[in-house]
Amino acid sequence: MSTDPATPRTGGAQGYLRIATEEAFATPDLFDAWARTMERSDVDPGFAGLAGFYTTSQAERPRTIKRRLLDLGEERIADMDAAGIDRALLLLTAPGVQWLDPAEGVALAASTNDQLADACRRHPDRFSGLAAVAPQDPAAAAEELRRGVTQLGLHGGVINGHTQGRYLSDQEFWPIFEAAEDLDVPIYIHPTGLPRTMLQPFQEAGLDGAIYGFGVDTGLHLLRIITAGVFDRFPRLRIVVGHAGEALPFWLFRLDHMHAATVRAERYESMKPTQRTISEYMRENVYITTSGMAWEPAIRFCQQVLGADRVMYAMDYPYEYEVSEVRTHDDLDIDAETKRMLFQTNAERVFGLNATAQV
């Protein structure tokens, strides 16, 4: 480890622990399932563009990322030490099990969660995790979320974006929200490759991935959940999104204005009145992380418009592994208590990292 005084250290001497909340992992079984999916004649182009790339590419960056995704032990912890990360909240990487047939997806979600829980048991002071689910079988997904939380000690669920082109705004998926609300755990909605119907104008310009397409699709996903009335039906449900709220905080004024106008215009069967405004749901049911968005103006803007109690630090390892980005967060011109909320206490509260015993 570097002895450079600017290198962040673990242990909390700076007045807070650093909890990173969108840290990705994968298992060999998952890469095998992706490789088999790639051989299908009807393979989805968005799946191929993302999972296919990381499964097969021999370029240096994807190979390094793949090696790091598969490590739930020494290399990851050494990388956390070198960047001053005390705890990683681990999420099965996109697109997870969501392109598999329902039975295979359900089984792989369960075995993946078992492996994640094992890693958390081996390193209880460094790792926590969220349960992966297979929304293509909503009832089984709700059940796996329940098992992950109550039996494996996981702290919520992760859903890697749309499921074969279908969004969680569709009522068929609401058993998952019902379970999350009942268990009092959040659901992290993480980006994935774009659906087939959206992909082409992004992909032809190289803009479908983390550079932009991920944010467009995940912001759309959360908006659809809000305008479909999910939070009226499940008022205690908590949703987390990364990447500084997938740009929605910047849009709030216009979203509120045009949402009200569109509802009043009775223009869409699918856009019925909601009990609250979009910005109210964003401030009451939604939490965001700073994954991939280590940029002071964006972070402070989000704290200002959503509240400092809703913004949490994330690194996005291994897709993003830059010690300088940790320092950017350390050096934010915000008071000590707000910084502690950003790095530590919001994540502890939202994910129940203190309350739920590590088993």
Binding site for Mn ion (CB under 5 A): 22, 316
Of Mn ion, ligand 1DF, none, which one sits near residue 94, judging by CB under 5 to 8 A according to partner kind?
Answer: ligand 1DF
Which residue number, 191 or 219, has a Cβ lying nearer to ligand 1DF?
191
Q: Which does 240 bind (CB under 5 to 8 A by kind): Mn ion, ligand 1DF, none?
A: none
In the complex, the smallest distance separating the C-beta of residue 314 from ligand 1DF, rounded to whole angstroms, is: 9
Question: How near is the Cβ of 118 to ligand 1DF at its closest, in Å?
Answer: 22
CA distance 46 to 161: 12
User: Pattern of binders to ligand 1DF over 74-113, x per CB under 6 A?
Assistant: -------------------xx-------------------
Residues 27-56 that bind ligand 1DF (CB under 6 A): 50
Cα–Cα distances in Å, from 149 out to 17, 46, 309?
24, 30, 23
Sign, CA dihedral 74-80-81-85, equals negative
Selected from 105, 292, 305, 310, the binder of ligand 1DF by CB under 6 A is 292
CB 90 within 8 A of CB 27: no
217's tokens: 């699709």
CA distance readout (Å), 309 to 25, 219, 353 = 27, 20, 16
CB 106 within 8 A of CB 134: yes
Among Mn ion, ligand 1DF, none, residue 209 binds (CB under 5-8 Å by kind): ligand 1DF
Q: Which helix (H) or strand (E) holds 141?
A: helix 138-150
Binding mask 202-241 for ligand 1DF (x = CB under 6 A): -------xx-------------------------------
Active site members: 316
Q: Which residue is nearest to Mn ion (CB)?
A: 316
* Binding pattern for the stretch 164-203 against ligand 1DF, x by CB under 6 A and - elsewhere: ---------------------------x------------
Q: Which of 16, 177, 234, 319 binds ligand 1DF (CB under 6 A)?
A: 319
Amino acid, single-letter form, for residue 129: G
Residue 93, binding choice from Mn ion, ligand 1DF, none, Cβ under 5 to 8 Å by partner class: ligand 1DF
Question: CA torsion sign, 52 to 80 to 321 to 311?
Answer: positive
For 127, the 3-state DSSP assignment is: strand
51: left (phi over 0), alpha (psi -120 to 50) or beta: alpha
CA-CA distance, 218 to 223, in Å (whole number)?
9
Q: Which is nearer to ligand 1DF, 30 or 142 (CB)?
A: 30
Is the bond preceding residue 124 a cis peptide, omega within 30 degrees? no
Residues that bind ligand 1DF (CB under 6 A): 24, 50, 93-94, 191, 209-210, 291-292, 316, 319
